[in-house]
């Protein structure tokens, strides 16, 4: 069993929904949907650090880096400077991993004011203001007219404002 599948099993056992992706394209789609509470990225090269840097520029979702190949402290520093909130070197204990993940999710920045929000989640839907699309959590698109989209945003802003 790989570390990746073991982490997925630990998360699932703690009632945390997991989406395992191995391609950057799949990862970008998940980021665009903004449905992740945290991202765990396995880093094995400088290319992977570039992926972390790109992800950090696209989302406020906390990113935890895991790596089996730590040559020196500079590797950790580069991962953190790339935008990760934590950096774990394998092997690590899964209780420690869960504790670090809990802290990363707890310490996220507070929600944006309604007028500055980029997305909304409700029922089985995700509305991306930036991409002007409504997506079911299964990934399928819901077609909306411009008027329907604007009305939905107005309702969601009003609900978020309280």
Same domain, 82 and 135: no
Quick: pLDDT tens for 68-122: 877 778 888 988 998 999 999 988 999 999 999 988 888 665 454 444 567 788 8
Evaluate if residue 152 carries a pLDDT over 70: yes
Same domain, 121 and 96: no
Residue finishing a domain among 66, 90, 106: 106
Q: Are 158 and 151 in contact (CB under 8 A)?
A: no
Q: Which domain holds residue 46?
A: 3-106
How many percent of the chain have pLDDT more than 70?
90
pTM across the whole model: 0.64
State phi, psi for 133 to the nearest 5 degrees: -145, 155
1-14: burial string, b at 16+ Cβ within 10 Å, e else: eebeeebbebbeee
> How many domains, the chain?
2
Same domain, 151 and 85: no
Quick: pLDDT tens for 15-37: 887 877 877 777 777 777 766 77
Residue finishing a domain among 83, 106, 129: 106
């Amino acid at each position: 069993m790989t570390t990746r599948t073991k982490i997925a099993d630990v998360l699932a056992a703690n009632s945390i929904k997991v989406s395992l992706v191995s391609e950057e394209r799949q990862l970008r789609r998940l980021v665009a949907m903004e449905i992740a509470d945290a991202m765990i990225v396995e880093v094995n090269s400088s290319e992977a650090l570039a992926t972390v840097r790109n992800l950090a520029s696209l989302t406020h979702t906390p990113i935890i880096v895991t790596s089996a190949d730590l040559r020196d402290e500079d590797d950790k520093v580069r991962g953190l400077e790339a935008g990760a909130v934590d950096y774990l070197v394998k092997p690590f204990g899964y209780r420690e991993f869960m504790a670090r993940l809990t802290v990363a999710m707890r310490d996220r920045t507070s929600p944006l004011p309604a007028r500055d929000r980029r997305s909304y989640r409700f029922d089985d839907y995700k509305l991306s203001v930036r991409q002007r699309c409504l997506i079911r959590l299964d990934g399928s698109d819901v077609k909306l007219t411009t008027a329907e989209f604007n009305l939905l945003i107005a309702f969601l802003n009003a609900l978020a404002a309280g």
